[in-house]
Amino acid sequence: MEYNHYLIDIEGTLVKDKTFTPVEGAVEWFNEFSADDTRAMLVTNNTTHTPNELLGILREKRFNINDKQISTCISAGAEYLKKQKCRQCYIIGSDAIKRYMQSKGIQVTDSPDVDAVVIGLDTNLDYEKLRIATSALVQNNARLLAMHTNKLFVDGRGRISISAGPIVKALEYASEKRAYVSGKPSPTYYRKFLKKWSCEASEVLMVSDDPLADLKGAKRIGMTTCFVTSGVYRDKSILKQLASKHQPDYAYPSVVSIA
């Protein structure tokens, strides 16, 4: 395969899970792109680390990557809040999201009196957090920002767990609001790379271990897609859940099989 540009997922694609252990051969595979920082972009819905923290971890794992080669749902989310002039937010998510938002001048509070509710992965989620978020959305008419709508993730012990997507759906249902999704598979998120590269969607290969969200979304706007079974879904049987028009163009055990 030869494409002008590549969008590459991180967890489950280049690394196995939250331990960030590289998939066998993935470091060498990715580093072939390192000479040209405009050809490949890492795109991630990771919300447990700030963009700079994630960059540092990947470099420690020997990925030759610079700050222009990585885009996260957290940074995209902060851009959205600033554009909407949101000054205060309530966050269901990690300390990394909170730190990053505060670094961008957005106040983080535990009160429902906010401009926006931000949803990311929160492994300590409880009913009180959901109550505050619902109150902010219903009583204070806050905006609902989803970092992503992933259904599942693989934790640091290799266990499949619920991700942020089902929580977003619950809050949408309760508040009768539609969330703005800052990360994958939002068409707005994908199209900014087409604008950055001044290219057509068909010139981009999107590589991910998530065919139901990442790849389906990329396919909808005309990108070529490649499914790898090195992450959440360990075989191609998951593809039975997709309509023929959303089937990935390629399916491989790992990125190493992508020539």
Q: Which domains does the chain show, CATH number per domain?
A: 5-73+184-257 (3.40.50.1000), 75-181 (3.40.50.1000)
pLDDT of residue 108: 98
Closest by CA to 206, choosing from 217, 192, 195, 197, is 217
Please name the residues in contact with 80: beta carbons below 8 A apart, sequence gap of 6 or more. 145, 180, 182
CA distance 201 to 183: 17
**What share of the chain in percent tops pLDDT 70?**
98
Asked if pLDDT for residue 1 goes beyond 70, the answer is no
Average pLDDT in the chain: 94
Q: What is the 3-state secondary structure (H, E, C) of 95-119?
A: HHHHHHHHHCCCEECCCCCCCEEEE
- What beta strand segments (E) does the chain contain? 5-8, 40-44, 70-72, 88-92, 107-108, 116-119, 143-146, 152-154, 160-162, 180-181, 204-208, 224-228, 250-252
pLDDT of residue 145: 98
Is residue 20 within 8 Å of 213, Cβ to Cβ? no
* 113-157 pLDDT, tens digit each: 999 999 999 999 999 999 999 999 999 999 999 999 988 888 878
Is residue 47 within 8 Å of 99, Cβ to Cβ? no
Q: What is the pLDDT confidence band of residue 202, given thresholds at 50, 70 and 90? A: very high
Asked if pLDDT for residue 85 goes beyond 80, the answer is yes
Tokens 């259904």 locate to: 151
Q: Is the pTM of this model over 0.85?
A: yes
* 40-54 pLDDT, tens digit each: 999 999 999 999 999
